[in-house]
Amino acid sequence: MSWTITAEHIDGLARGAAVLGTGGGGDPYIGALLARQALADTDVTVVGLDEVPDDALVLFVAMMGAPTVMVEKLPSLDEVVEPVRALGVHLGRPVTHIACAEVGGVNSTIPIAAAAALGLPLIDADGMGRAFPELQMVLPTLHGVTASPLAFSDEKGNTGVLQTVDNSWTERIARVACVEMGCSVMISGFSMSGVQARESLVADSLSRCIEIGEAIARARDSKTDPVAAAVALLHGRELIDGKVVDVQRATTTGFARGRARIDGAGDTSITLQFQNEHLVAEQDGQVLVTTPDLIMVLDGESGEPVTTEALRYGQRVRVAAAPADERWHSAAALAMVGPGYFGYDMRAHRFDGTISTGGTETESGVLSEGNEPR
Amino acid sequence: MSWTITAEHIDGLARGAAVLGTGGGGDPYIGALLARQALADTDVTVVGLDEVPDDALVLFVAMMGAPTVMVEKLPSLDEVVEPVRALGVHLGRPVTHIACAEVGGVNSTIPIAAAAALGLPLIDADGMGRAFPELQMVLPTLHGVTASPLAFSDEKGNTGVLQTVDNSWTERIARVACVEMGCSVMISGFSMSGVQARESLVADSLSRCIEIGEAIARARDSKTDPVAAAVALLHGRELIDGKVVDVQRATTTGFARGRARIDGAGDTSITLQFQNEHLVAEQDGQVLVTTPDLIMVLDGESGEPVTTEALRYGQRVRVAAAPADERWHSAAALAMVGPGYFGYDMRAHRFDGTISTGGTETESGVLSEGNEPR
């Protein structure tokens, strides 16, 4: 069922997207600014995955770079559509739909701006159901969709189009270009048919973001618990209610990397490790939850999501965990986004503390090696 | 007048190109291998600049990267033509001529291989009349020719096409991609009409390389002085006849950077500073010659050119200097390739020790600031 997204949806959408963005995906305030600006003169039609024609030409539009830099380089509407235009030459036929590569404060709203500027419908779906730091880390990669041709562009007017041998090479080359171009570029790629989009995207993401974002606001307004409201919708659990007592963070090679410690009541303490997104939560040296499941930090009182670059000493926060889209638990997916890929020597732990076996794809019962640390 | 280049020309061409390459532009042995392979089955027609039709579509084809790496990654013929093919999409009309961006051991022979593989004529000309380390450093940049669209490709099959706001941005983005792709890529760009090519290229480069390369061999065979033969053809002068007593070299950010000291008879000693190419020659702290004029190191006995990466302690060498194409002495050119650009705090010194004033373009007699160190 298609619906119209308007400026009134944006606050809820940006907030909910920042929750699912697990600390990454950019500042929801910046994302909301951009989307409201784009929707000032026009509405955008949002269509369900089941409504996308088989022969559609769907493109992701996203911002690539360090969220710490995105805050200082809000793109113009011209910039947002430039990579889509640059891809036109390569694809040879008109783009029909825009989709979100990930959910996150900026990358759920940039595509709205792109859809508005291009007069195209937006799909109520995304490529992850969460946020991840590298370009190849989307479910379409696991379904054989190529990131290439992928276009990137900066605010100065430089553009590039890559055609690479695999999606990891797209990431590598686009990343160094992104760093050279100022640590933040607009990208578009992963061209998909409607069939491929239905097969590989996470359905109803935008609706879900709005639902979560509005539930947090409603709970706050009615003096009930906004974090509990979000956790219930996510089918997750709360890990700790406490205070940020330590944050280490560095922006290196285009990523915001670091760790944070949150002390709760009694002697409880949780350590989070992040690379744009929160990837590992540990308690007393024991792994609680890891990527690909969701680890989220919310403001202790307002329930507002706290991005990794906004974490500050002394903040009252609550940390929650929730299940990722189940496709992220296949062996191939764990090899791509499991803790081992990010350099953490541990198995993937689901939000409830159980081990993710990587067995989703191996129906024979023989578990593959996808969950081994790299 | 057009002529046919065959495998018999290659030794002379590669040798002469390495002389004019002033230490950079790659190993002449590698370049010769590649060109002979390309000419095994086919000849290449070489046309003079005055024969190129006004509406021709001329492209540079070159190898970009650290010469130290090129030696280990000899490209295949498929690789050599891949960036030309990738550009086809953008240009929308057939390429008619191939040209050399620079003269140098590899970049004078790669275009022969490309012309052979594509069945296109090669122009007897190049973009510098020497070699320089960065992509924008060609005379066409000074004549308003854009490097974009510029294609790059590697041996794995990755390609990219850049469209940038100026030629320095093409260099910046292509350089980081090149480093990420293994410090050596094939590139093609600087699309020019015949009119633009005539206006901005250095005429008769290939013929000149062959003439110099063959003169060195002939002098050697006839037991006369090969270095003197080369210096005479270059209208240059010899700076020192001595022994390499110190070489410092590092391959950083895609360049081979360093310095070398050559001690001659008595107390004479010359220090060379290089970044792929020899850029500064000093004697007892006094600047003798700098970029853009040519500083060349030749083997003391054989007259074979010695590239910066082949310089070794104990080598008997002779160092010569010669004038660059006069267009390199304009104010705009000196701002782009003068010693200040490379971080040397000195004015540009011509091969004969006089100061280059950067006044070529300012016919009013008022000298511009092009010669000031950056």
pLDDT 10s digits, A34-55? 889 889 989 999 999 999 999 9
Residue A162 CB-half CA count within 13 A: 34
- 């996150």: which residue's tokens? A104
Tokens in use for B300? 């003391």
pLDDT 10s digits, B275-316? 989 999 999 889 999 999 999 999 999 999 999 888 999 999
Highest mean pLDDT among A71-80, A357-366, B290-299: B290-299
Q: What is the mean pLDDT of chain B?
A: 91
B366, pLDDT greater than 60:
no
- What residues does A186 pair with on adjacent strands? A63, A153
B237: helix, strand or coil: strand
Nearest CB to A176 within list B90, B162, B177: B177
Instruction: Pick the residue of B78, B93, B136, B164 with the most A CBs within 10 A to test the interface with A by mutation.
Output: B164
Segment A157-173 shows an average pLDDT of 97
Indicate the pLDDT class of residue A19, thresholds 50, 70 and 90: very high
Per-residue confidence (pLDDT) for residue A242, from 0 to 100 = 97
- The fold of the B229-374 domain, in CATH, is CV3147-like (2.40.390)
A70, pLDDT greater than 70:
no
Q: What are phi and psi of B100, to 5 degrees?
A: -85, 135
Segment B159-168 shows an average pLDDT of 97
Q: Which of A109-113, B202-206, B313-317, B368-372 has the lowest mean pLDDT?
A: B368-372
Spans of all domains in chain A: 3-205, 234-374
Per-residue confidence (pLDDT) for residue B68, from 0 to 100 = 65
Query: What is the DSSP secondary structure assignment for residue A329, as one 8-state letter?
Result: G
Cβ atoms within 10 Å, residue B345: 8
- What residues does A290 pair with on adjacent strands? A280
Cα–Cα dist B39/B43, whole Å: 6
Please give the class, per CATH, of domain A234-374: mainly beta
Per-residue confidence (pLDDT) for residue A373, from 0 to 100 = 42
Cβ-Cβ contacts under 8 Å for B188 (sequence gap 6 or more): B59, B60, B61, B62, B83, B84, B86, B87, B114, B150, B151
Cα–Cα dist B246/A147, whole Å: 49
Interstrand relation of A44-47 and A122-126 (parallel, antiparallel or unpaired): parallel
Q: Which of A22-31, A90-99, B65-74, B169-178 has the lowest mean pLDDT?
A: B65-74
CB contact under 8 A, A176 and B172: no
Per-residue confidence (pLDDT) for residue B204, from 0 to 100 = 97
Burial of B269 (0-12, 13-18, 19+ CB in 10 A): middle
Indicate the pLDDT class of residue B222, thresholds 50, 70 and 90: very high
Enumerate the residues of chain A whose CB falls inside 8 A of the CB of residue B165: 156-158
Chain-centre distance for alpha carbon B204:
14
Among chain A residues, CA nearest to B172: A180
Give the B window 178-197 contacts with A, CB below 8 Å.
179-181
Chain-centre distance for alpha carbon A176:
20
> What angle (nearest 5°) sits at the alpha carbon of residue A241, between those of residues A240 and A247?
80
| Min Cα–Cα distance to chain A from B86, Å | 9
| A200 vs A76: which has the higher pLDDT | A200
Cα–Cα dist A127/A98, whole Å: 12
Cα–Cα dist A147/A60, whole Å: 9
Per-residue confidence (pLDDT) for residue B354, from 0 to 100 = 95
Per-residue confidence (pLDDT) for residue B361, from 0 to 100 = 43
Per-residue confidence (pLDDT) for residue A362, from 0 to 100 = 40
pLDDT 10s digits, A292-344? 999 999 999 999 999 988 899 999 999 999 999 999 999 999 999 999 999 99
Per-residue confidence (pLDDT) for residue B287, from 0 to 100 = 97
Per-residue confidence (pLDDT) for residue B1, from 0 to 100 = 77
- 């960065």: which residue's tokens? B134
CB contact under 8 A, B158 and A181: no
Any B CB within 8 A of A355 CB: no
Concatenating the DSSP letter of every residue in A78-101 gives HHHHHHHHHHHHHH-S---EEEES
Tokens in use for A237? 């659990």
Instruction: Pick the residue of B85, B156, B159, B185 with the most A CBs within 10 A to test the interface with A by mutation.
Output: B159
Any A CB within 8 A of B283 CB: no
Per-residue confidence (pLDDT) for residue B67, from 0 to 100 = 65
Indicate the pLDDT class of residue A27, thresholds 50, 70 and 90: confident
| B24 vs A71: which has the higher pLDDT | B24
Q: ipTM value, please give it.
A: 0.87
Any A CB within 8 A of B253 CB: no
Concatenating the DSSP letter of every residue in A146-208 gives ---SEEEE-TTS-EEEEE-SSHHHHHHHHHHHHHHTTSEEEEEEEEE-HHHHHHHSEETHHHH
Segment B352-364 shows an average pLDDT of 70
Interstrand relation of B294-299 and B316-322 (parallel, antiparallel or unpaired): antiparallel
Which residue type, as a one-letter code, is found at position A340?
G
Indicate the pLDDT class of residue B70, thresholds 50, 70 and 90: low
Residues in chain A: 374
| Min Cα–Cα distance to chain A from B19, Å | 34
In chain B, % of residues over pLDDT 70: 93
Concatenating the DSSP letter of every residue in B273-325 gives EEESEEEEEEETTEEEEETTSEEEEEETTT--B--GGG--TT-EEEEEEEPPP
| A157 vs B252: which has the higher pLDDT | A157
B371, pLDDT greater than 50:
no
pLDDT 10s digits, B11-32? 999 999 999 999 988 777 887 8
Any B CB within 8 A of A86 CB: yes
Segment A150-177 shows an average pLDDT of 96
Nearest CB to B89 within list A89, A159, A179: A89
Segment B231-244 shows an average pLDDT of 97
| A72 vs B111: which has the higher pLDDT | B111
- 């070299």: which residue's tokens? B249
Query: In angstroms, what CA-CA distances link A99 with A16, A26, A191, A206, B272?
Result: 17, 17, 10, 10, 56
Long-range contacts of A243-246 (CB under 8 A, 24+ apart): A243/A314, A243/A315, A243/A316, A243/A317, A244/A311, A244/A312, A244/A313, A244/A314, A244/A315, A244/A317, A245/A269, A245/A313, A246/A313
Per-residue confidence (pLDDT) for residue A68, from 0 to 100 = 64
Per-residue confidence (pLDDT) for residue B365, from 0 to 100 = 35
Q: Which of B28-32, B94-98, B202-206 has the lowest mean pLDDT?
A: B28-32
- The fold of the A3-205 domain, in CATH, is CV3147-like fold (3.40.1610)
CB contact under 8 A, A173 and B180: yes
